[in-house]
């Protein structure tokens, strides 16, 4: 019911996005989408590209007088860097000789992509494999967040680990501190050490990865379904998060740590009504991370991603040449040292995209009035059965 496509090369004219399925009557502005695009560009460890770009999604269709029309929403995010690549990335045939990239970079799509698509140049592969595409996803995530705001959902993310430095997350997260931190980490002491670790990696011509956590609040019970593998919300979240560039692992709730605990310590005890403070079903813990049986259980959704260190190294790795197969140092092109802080914003976007899809499946509707009417009617039926009005 909700679908989108992105198009665009990293150094092409820009990113084009078409989103279909958002109901009519949702207020939406370029300024709203711009907030997350700006957040994605920040973070200690990013390269010079982020100083060139000032991402803003222009709404090209699907919105009139500040409200969605129910028609496809088209967005365009311009690449300012395009001005420096007009020959190398020209749309029309070009007379000049453009140098081919043949020094394969391990950790990128370079080898597999050129073999698969039968290119003698890595450029066509690296341009689309680039995480520049995540700007488009964050724009889509912005639209989905705006939609889900109407249901009371909120999205947060923070950095848990960079390289060997792990944040203390035992206290309640101070979200303002996260947004102000150069590495989007709530633990100020750990953040300082993370910044130093990024400096060390940069000075050594190396790169760093890490772990980011995303949280979604205000999630109703009942998004996703247990009835088929591809309708399970945890499965859909895992696919969406794993598709983010550099991601090598996804956890939901307690994740891998749950394997070291016994069942009696893992499962989230359902509290009796007299202990509820919110007027709705409550649990003692949230080890499940907000999903049971592929359905949201009314608790916050908690997800974590593991990002490998950036694959383009200033001190190039040994590699082989695409043409000859002979030993050669891997290609180096201006690059980020650590993208863990930025990844949190992309995690929020991917969660918003998945949850907007499941919310539309559950509540339907062509206009927001209809969608929200369905939502409110449903909410009235989610309490204990004998107590329903
Ligand atoms: C926000 C973000 C920015 C990234 N920037 C770079 C970069 O500057 N240089 C680089 O080599 N990889 C960068 N990456 C990672 C690559 O895009 C990614 O490793 C590559 O496309 C291979 O895909 P895979 O790691 O998912 O297998 C970035 C990833 C993210 C999430």
User: Which residues fall within 8 angstroms of residue 208, CB to CB, at 6 or more apart?
Assistant: 45, 162, 163, 197, 198, 201, 309, 310, 337, 338, 340
Q: Ligand 1 pocket, 126 CB below 6 A?
A: no
User: Which residues fall within 8 angstroms of residue 385, CB to CB, at 6 or more apart?
Assistant: none
Indicate the top mutation candidate among 131, 157, 201, 350 to test ligand 1's pocket, ranked by most ligand atoms within 8 A of CB.
Answer: 131
pLDDT at 304: 98
Full strand arrangement of the beta sheet holding 73-78: 3-7, 14-20, 73-78, 57-61
Q: How far is the CA of 317 from the centre of ligand 1 (A)?
A: 16
CA 139, CA 137: separation in Å to the nearest integer? 5
Indicate the top mutation candidate among 339, 341, 350 to test ligand 1's pocket, ranked by most ligand atoms within 8 A of CB.
Answer: 339
Q: Ligand 1 pocket, 41 CB below 6 A?
A: no
Three-class SS state of 27 = strand
HSE toward the beta carbon, residue 190, CA cutoff 13 A: 20
Indicate the top mutation candidate among 246, 317, 345 to test ligand 1's pocket, ranked by most ligand atoms within 8 A of CB.
Answer: 246
Beta bridge partners of 221: 297
Evaluate the CA torsion angle 235, 355, 137, 249 in order and state its sign: negative
Three-class SS state of 227 = coil
pLDDT at 54: 87
pLDDT at 346: 98
pLDDT at 76: 98
Three-class SS state of 331 = coil
Q: Ligand 1 pocket, 246 CB below 6 A?
A: yes
How many other CB atoms are found less than 10 A from the CB of residue 47?
16
pLDDT at 63: 98
Q: Ligand 1 pocket, 146 CB below 6 A?
A: no
Q: Ligand 1 pocket, 130 CB below 6 A?
A: yes
Q: One digit per residue, pLDDT tens: the chain, 389 residues?
A: 899 999 999 999 999 999 999 999 999 999 999 999 999 998 888 877 677 878 999 999 999 999 999 999 999 999 999 999 999 999 999 999 999 999 999 999 999 999 999 999 999 999 999 999 999 999 999 999 999 999 999 999 999 999 999 999 888 999 999 999 999 999 999 999 999 999 999 999 999 999 999 999 999 999 999 999 999 999 999 999 999 999 999 999 999 999 999 999 999 999 999 999 998 999 999 999 999 999 999 999 999 999 999 999 989 999 999 999 999 999 988 789 999 999 999 999 999 999 999 999 999 999 999 999 999 999 999 999 988 76
pLDDT at 389: 64
How far the first Cα of the chain sits from its last, in Å, is 31
Angle formed at CA 76 by CA 74 and CA 80, multiple of 5 degrees? 180
Q: Ligand 1 pocket, 336 CB below 6 A?
A: yes
pLDDT at 210: 98
Q: Which long-range contacts (CB under 8 A, 24 or more apart) does 286-291 make?
A: 286/253, 287/253, 287/254, 287/258, 288/252, 288/253, 288/254, 289/234, 289/251, 289/252, 289/253, 289/254, 289/255, 290/216, 290/219, 290/252, 290/253, 291/224, 291/232, 291/233, 291/234, 291/237, 291/252, 291/253
Q: What is the pTM of this model?
A: 0.97
Q: Ligand 1 pocket, 55 CB below 6 A?
A: no
Q: Ligand 1 pocket, 36 CB below 6 A?
A: no
How many other CB atoms are found less than 10 A from the CB of residue 211?
18
Q: Ligand 1 pocket, 109 CB below 6 A?
A: yes
């Amino acid at each position: 019911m909700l679908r989108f496509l992105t198009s665009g090369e990293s150094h092409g004219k820009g990113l084009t996005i078409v989103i279909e399925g958002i109901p009519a009557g949702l207020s939406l502005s370029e300024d709203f989408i711009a907030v997350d695009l700006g957040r994605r560009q920040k973070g200690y460890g990013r390269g010079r590209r982020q100083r060139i770009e000032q991402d803003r999604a222009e709404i090209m269709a699907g919105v009139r007088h500040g409200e969605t029309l129910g028609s496809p929403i088209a967005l365009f995010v311009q690449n300012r860097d395009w001005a420096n690549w007009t020959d190398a990335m020209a749309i029309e045939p070009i007379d000049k000789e453009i140098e081919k990239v043949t020094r394969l970079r391990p950790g990128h799509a370079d080898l597999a992509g050129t073999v698969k698509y039968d290119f003698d140049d890595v450029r066509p592969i690296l341009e689309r494999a680039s995480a520049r595409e995540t700007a488009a996803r964050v724009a889509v995530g912005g639209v989905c967040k705006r939609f889900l705001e109407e249901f009371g959902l909120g999205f947060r993310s923070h950095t848990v680990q960079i390289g060997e430095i792990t944040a203390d997350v035992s206290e309640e997260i101070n979200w303002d501190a996260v947004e102000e931190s150069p590495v989007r980490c709530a633990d100020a002491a750990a953040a300082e050490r993370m910044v130093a670790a990024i400096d060390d990696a940069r000075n050594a011509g190396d790169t760093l990865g890490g772990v980011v956590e995303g949280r979604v609040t205000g999630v109703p019970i009942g998004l996703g379904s247990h009835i088929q593998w591809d309708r399970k919300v945890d499965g859909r979240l895992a696919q969406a998060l794993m598709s983010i560039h550099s991601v090598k692992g996804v956890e939901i709730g307690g994740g891998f740590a749950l394997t070291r605990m016994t069942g009696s310590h893992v499962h989230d005890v359902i509290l009796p009504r007299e202990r509820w403070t919110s007027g709705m079903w409550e649990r003692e813990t949230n080890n499940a991370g907000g999903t049971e049986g592929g359905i949201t259980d009314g608790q916050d959704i908690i997800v974590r991603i593991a990002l490998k260190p950036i694959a383009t190294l200033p001190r190039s790795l040994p590699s082989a040449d695409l043409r000859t197969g002979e030993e050669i140092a891997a290609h180096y092109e201006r690059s980020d040292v650590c993208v863990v802080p930025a990844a949190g914003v992309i995690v929020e976007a991917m969660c918003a995209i998945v949850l907007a899809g499941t919310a539309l499946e559950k509540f339907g509707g062509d206009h927001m009035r209809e969608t929200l009417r369905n939502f409110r009617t449903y909410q009235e039926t989610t309490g204990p059965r004998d107590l329903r009005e």
